[in-house]
Amino acid sequence: MIYLDSAATTAVRREVLEAMWPYMTGDFGNPSSHHTVGESAARALAGARSAVASWLGCRAGEVTFTSGGTEADNLAIKGIALGNPRGRHIVTTAIEHEAVLESVDYLKRMHGFAVTLLPVDRDGLVDPEQLAVALRDDTTLVSIMYANNEVGTVQRIAELARVCHERGVPMHTDAVQAAGWLSLDVRELGVDALSVSGHKIGAPKGTGALFVRGRLPLEPVLHGGGQERGRRSGTENVAGAVALATAARLVEQGRETNAQTARDARDSFIEHVLARVPAAQLTGHPSSRLPASASFVFDGTSGESVLLELERRGVVSSSGSACAAGSDEASHVLVALGYPEVLAQTAVRFSWSPDVTGEQLAAAAASVVEAVEAVGVLAT
């Protein structure tokens, strides 16, 4: 089987499992406990926090562990928007993950926020000038994803952050998909908040973190025992934090070489499919895209049938985001990129991890050609 759905989730890496194992067995303590068992867990948590902070280029005190990308996004959007006394206007884009869009919608429904949804161009890029125009004196937060989960487009985050800062507005980025491949150094990106999720980079599901720049007020979403400096109550998932930190270290070790190898394989994969499948159109930006992401619409076919034919040939991929899979609704991302709904329903996304080889991708590309031929292009 060739697994090309890493944007949905990845396998837990052996080194990660080994690193977290002691904190689920012998060193199982509660980090808040004042005895040696608890103190050992607290030390592990502090070590994991420092490791994640060095990954993100921030201070350890600026890292809050969460239960994943969804919680990190919720905390960033609700926490910063509600904690910022500037006003009740929030800016995001039409192509964000539901964790951002639904959090923004909550602020609108329950707290009377005005929302500006920035459009994107055909390749999925946000225009910094349109962002500048959208900012208001009462804008509390801008949230723009680093890389899109469906079409892989990578935004010019540093430039967008500069536009926000010229108006004194904090900026959050959802870096869940970027995390395995791109630098997350918040000093270079210039962002004030950034979300990551463990299960996209070889840590277990239910692990993640949010960076929030020190001086930014943050209203907690989860209330309780005051863990994570009051930002996120709940007994800490020590093993999960260690897992995230270990996965991050492994990502960073080979990141640039892995990204270059993946880019080359991606470009051959895309070229092969576009050359052999007349119905195929690449979605997302041709070059400013994740190194291990190739997404298409196959005009006149049914995306679900192509997926089934691919699976029969041993290639596992998806119709878009994991949550949209299996539903008949056209992807909000492709619609925002300007694709008609009927075409958007023929979308297939391929995404992989660094252990997928160039040979496997070449074999998968050949299977894509066969799968689309097997489905046949419907007469329109």
- Active site residue: 37, 323, 342, 378, which one? 323
Nearest CB to ligand PLP, comparing residues 97 and 172: 97
Nearest CB to ligand PLP, comparing residues 92 and 197: 197
- The Cα diameter of the chain in Å comes to 72
Asked if 180 interacts with ligand PLP (CB under 6 A), we say: no
Question: Could you tell me the sign of the dihedral formed by the alpha carbons of 272, 8, 352, 127, in that order?
Answer: positive
Q: Sort residue 326 into left (φ over 0), alpha (ψ -120 to 50) or beta.
A: left
Asked if 149 interacts with ligand PLP (CB under 6 A), we say: yes
Least distance (Å) between residue 161 CB and ligand PLP: 18
CA distance 27 to 238: 10
Q: Is 58 a catalytic residue?
A: no
Least distance (Å) between residue 178 CB and ligand PLP: 9
Asked if 174 interacts with ligand PLP (CB under 6 A), we say: yes
Rule CB under 6 A: choose which of 29, 31, 68, 303 binds ligand PLP: 68
Least distance (Å) between residue 229 CB and ligand PLP: 22
CA distance 229 to 233: 8
Nearest CB to ligand PLP, comparing residues 73 and 309: 73
Helix (H, G, I), strand (E, B) or coil at 352: coil
Q: Are 298 and 310 a contacting pair, CB within 8 Å? A: no
For 130-176, strand residue ranges (E) read 139-143, 171-174
Over the window 84 to 113, marking each residue x when it contacts ligand PLP by CB under 6 A and - when it does not, the resulting string is: -------------x-x--------------
Task: Calculate ∠ Cα 191-194-195, nearest 5°.
Answer: 165
Least distance (Å) between residue 76 CB and ligand PLP: 11
Asked if 208 interacts with ligand PLP (CB under 6 A), we say: yes
Token pair recorded at residue 369: 């050609």
Least distance (Å) between residue 2 CB and ligand PLP: 20
For 72, the enclosing helix (H) or strand (E) is helix 69-83
- Please report how the helices 303-312 and 358-375 are oriented relative to each other, as an axis angle in degrees rounded to 10: 130
Give residue 269's identity as a one-letter amino acid code. F
Nearest residue to ligand PLP by CB is: 69
Strands 139-143 and 171-174: parallel
**Residue span binding ligand PLP (CB under 6 A) among the ranges 174-182, 246-254, 272-280, 324-332:** 174-182
Give residue for tokens 């690193």. 19
Rule CB under 6 A: choose which of 70, 84, 140, 346 binds ligand PLP: 70
Q: Are 76 and 193 a contacting pair, CB within 8 Å? A: yes
Over the window 310 to 329, marking each residue x when it contacts ligand PLP by CB under 6 A and - when it does not, the resulting string is: ------------x-------
Nearest CB to ligand PLP, comparing residues 243 and 375: 243
> In 3D, which of 12, 27, 56, 76 has the Cα closest to residue 207?
12
Asked if 242 interacts with ligand PLP (CB under 6 A), we say: no
Over the window 16 to 55, marking each residue x when it contacts ligand PLP by CB under 6 A and - when it does not, the resulting string is: ----------------------------------------
Nearest CB to ligand PLP, comparing residues 199 and 231: 199
Q: Are 64 and 75 a contacting pair, CB within 8 Å? A: yes
Question: Could you tell me the sign of the dihedral formed by the alpha carbons of 72, 92, 221, 105, in that order?
Answer: negative
Annotated catalytic residues are: 323
- Binding positions for ligand PLP, rule: CB under 6 A: 68-70, 73, 97, 99, 145, 149, 174, 176-177, 197, 199, 208, 322
